[in-house]
Amino acid sequence: MMQRTQDNKNVYRNILLSIILSIVITLLVSSTILYFNFDNIALKQVYESDSNSLMQTSQEILKVTETATSFSFQIYRDFVISKLLFYDKPDIYDITNAMQQLNNYRFAMPFIDSIYVYNGKSDLFYVSANNFQSGIQTKSTLGDQGMVDILDHFQDYMPFLPVPRTFNPVGNDQLTVSKVGIYSYLCYDAININKSLNSAVIVNISESFINKSLKNVANSRSSSEFIINKDGILLSTDGSNPVLSDYSNKNYIKDIIANASSPGYLVDTVENTKSLISYTAPDSLGWRYVRTTPYSIITKEIKSMRTKTIYISLSLLLAGLLVSFFTSRKLFDPIDKVIRNLKTLEIEKRDNLQILRQDFLRNIIMGREAYHPIALQAKLRYFGSKITIQHSSLLIMVKIDHFTENVNKYQDQFKLLRYAVMNICTEISSPLFQAEAIDMGDDHILLLLTAQESDFEWDHDAFMAILHKMQTSIADYIKLSVSITISPLQDNAGPCIHLYKQLLEASYHRLFRGHGCIIWSEEIMGYRAKEYKFPTQKEKQLVDCLMTGDSAEAETIYTDIINETAEYPYSVVHLAISHLTLRVNNVLNTINKNNALALPLYLDTTIASLNQVETIEEINFQFYQLFEHLHKKIDEKRSSKHVDLIKKMNDIIERDYGNQNLSINSIADELDMSPIYISRLYKQHTMVALIDLIQDVRMNKSKELLIHSSLSVAEIAEKTGFTSDSYFYRKFKKYNSITPNDFRKQYNRNSEVLTND
């Protein structure tokens, strides 16, 4: 005990000394470094602050760009406005309604300065603006002649990308007003033989709105913000120069242009003032956001920070010594707990984008959202996906076998296993495909595969090798078995996305093909052309076997019925199992009522839904178990004495079936028993009435004679104990739904067909 106490003291002392030394050394070193490197640190801090705010501005302007793009596309597809776009001479009512609609669009978005609708056939502009040029304008009367030049050379401009420009609008009185800065978004149609412009929608955003976005960013340093393109052309006014001014000759702009793809900062002279210039990397539009801050303002903050740092360091040192004394006692707790928590936070942060990406992909696959191919590709790029939807594509469903068992086994860790399956499949398919793994919940994930190259050539053997490697790797690394279902190869990802339901239906055929199978959905869809007819005769035989307790034969017949459905649509399998479930339960009800076996179990009707069933063996097991249970109950009811007596009755019937006087009374007389007793006994133990058995034996014998002899029907009726050939006719047709002569002819025809084959 004393040794343990001494060890604890040593550990505590070592921890305390380590903490104190760490605090002292850290504070001394860091404060010394900070003191002598404050300039660089302050510049980096200011740059980081500027970078964050500039990125915020970039995101806001990109959102405006996305909104304007969507907005111009919406206007282009508007039925009311389409009359201005495509009609040579729309009537006044259509023009009025369309112009009102354009005004509504413009008023709905405060950042829109004006909207132009251009009709290439009539060469007219329909303008919605808050100035004198609103209305119908020709190319010559349009105040925005720069737009006329743009439309004349529309091939030089990309649709939906902003075109910064300035123009001097001219009214009908030819009076020049002040120059206007504007950003134009083009949505045009030029699909014709001459490749001329059919129509166009132009959404103009005012320069003042962009400037407002720049100035809305919190700025306490009297900084100046502006936007340039890759060539150093000013895209937003900085207060002293208009849009499209050439800044490329300024030294600091040259440095920014030289650093073409990365953000950064530098110190240079701006307007005769030493300044910190912070700039962003080019965004998706190729724009770069620049902020200049006078260096004197930053230096003032540096001096203040140096003084504060000294006081703060001393305060922290004192506080650290005091706190370390009290907190060191608690450092005996497991360090790995803290590490696990930190890792969990890191994973949650990283997975946030992954969750949004998965939700988006699920919505696309389930048909909850629809996108134009261009918009869909852009959305995928936003989420970091590398797939190209225009390349050859296919969809793969990976189902986890023994799903319920594995969920119960791994519980909370099962989510990680699903994620591992997705990663393995994505990595293995990467040599030939770009892959997106989609967690669809339940027991399956989807893989959307698009070819790496546009000239992709299908290689079946190579693809099968990939599938087998997926199954093998999943089995080796995470000890799971998976079944795979593959869609047909499509020219692009568009139609491939809509194959989910077909793929899901095909995957259900794992029921017959077993765990670890590979299913081609195109093969399964071919089953739909086949017509299924339920085998009622086998069903009757199954019922007879159950009534007599012949479990082995019942299993054989049941298996034949189920296996016949393996090459039919899944709905046929479902209906067949449902029908057999109901039929077997009806037989059990009948047995209970007629023979008082008091069976404690019935067939569970929930198996007919197949929700929790993966292979047909799981269903077969329940049927087989019930058949065996029924067999045992019936056997328990029978005694050896009764068996012998029943055998004697069977022998008498087999011997005297040709005797017209054979009856229950004649059998009872021969056995010296009561007719009522032997009738009840036979029915109780065989589930068949004795009089019915006599008729069945006579009928079976008559069939044998019809097939294997040339005797007439009257002779056969006499030999099998029927009182007359007319009575035989009626009974035979009632039992077999066919006359004796037709039965003999049908058998002969079938025999001839088999012989010819």
pLDDT (tens digit per residue) in 527-578: 888 888 888 888 888 888 887 778 888 889 989 988 888 888 888 888 888 8
Strand, coil or helix: 233? strand
DSSP code, position 463: H
Rg (alpha carbons) of the chain, rounded to whole number: 44
DSSP 383-395: TT----TTS-EEE
pLDDT (tens digit per residue) in 432-467: 899 989 998 888 899 999 998 888 888 899 999 999
**Contact call for residues 501 and 570 (beta carbons, < 8 A):** no
Distances (CA, A) of 499 to 448, 614, 705: 11, 22, 58
**Contact call for residues 750 and 714 (beta carbons, < 8 A):** no
Record the tokens describing residue 610, joined without a space: 């197949």
Task: Return contacts of 705-709, CB within 8 angstroms, 24+ apart.
Answer: 706/740, 706/743, 706/744, 706/747, 707/744, 707/747
* Residue 671: pLDDT over 60: yes
**Contact call for residues 707 and 747 (beta carbons, < 8 A):** yes
Q: Could you identify the residue written with the tokens 């696990």?
A: 340
Mean pLDDT calculated for residue range 244-270: 84
pLDDT (tens digit per residue) in 52-76: 877 887 887 788 778 878 878 888 8
**Contact call for residues 112 and 103 (beta carbons, < 8 A):** no
Region at 325 (left for phi over 0; alpha for psi -120 to 50; beta for the rest):
alpha
**Runs of H (alpha helix) within 638-689:** 640-656, 664-671, 675-686
Which is more confidently placed, 237 or 707?
A: 707
pLDDT for 719: 87
pLDDT (tens digit per residue) in 311-344: 777 777 777 667 666 665 565 455 445 546 666 7
Mean pLDDT calculated for residue range 37-53: 73
pLDDT for 138: 86
Least confident of 395-404, 486-495, 631-640: 631-640
- What is the C-alpha separation between 184 and 726, in angstroms, rounded? 99
pLDDT for 629: 83
Sequence letter at residue 473:
S
- Residue 483 pLDDT level (bands cut at 50, 70, 90): very high
Q: Could you identify the residue written with the tokens 């000239």?
A: 455
- Residue 83 pLDDT level (bands cut at 50, 70, 90): confident
pLDDT for 335: 45
Mean pLDDT calculated for residue range 217-222: 56
Residue 87: how many CA atoms within 13 Å on its side-chain side?
A: 14
pLDDT (tens digit per residue) in 501-526: 888 888 888 888 889 999 998 888 88
Q: For CA atoms 263, 264, 265, 266, give the dihedral sign.
A: negative
Least confident of 95-104, 144-153, 200-209, 239-248: 239-248
- What is the C-alpha separation between 249 and 39, in angstroms, rounded? 28
pLDDT for 173: 46
Q: Could you identify the residue written with the tokens 């959102």?
A: 63
pLDDT (tens digit per residue) in 154-195: 888 888 788 888 877 655 444 445 677 788 888 876 555 556
pLDDT for 446: 92
Question: Please, what is the Cα angle at 261 between 260 and 267, to 5 degrees?
Answer: 65
pLDDT for 488: 92
pLDDT for 745: 85
DSSP 185-228: EEEEE--STT----EEEEEEEEHHHHHHHHHTS--SS--EEEEE
Residue 135, H or E segment: strand 135-138
Closest by CA position to 41, among listed 252, 273, 301: 301
* Residue 114: pLDDT over 80: yes
Closest by CA position to 119, among listed 229, 196, 67, 226: 196
**Contact call for residues 188 and 200 (beta carbons, < 8 A):** yes
Strand, coil or helix: 648? helix
Output the average pLDDT for the chain. Answer: 80
- What is the C-alpha separation between 684 and 757, in angstroms, rounded? 47
pLDDT for 421: 92
- What is the C-alpha separation between 723 and 743, in angstroms, rounded? 21
Residues 6+ apart with CB under 8 A from 557: 538, 541, 542, 545
pLDDT for 595: 58
pLDDT for 4: 47
pLDDT for 469: 92
Sequence letter at residue 262:
S
- What is the C-alpha separation between 33 and 136, in angstroms, rounded? 69
pLDDT (tens digit per residue) in 338-349: 546 666 766 665
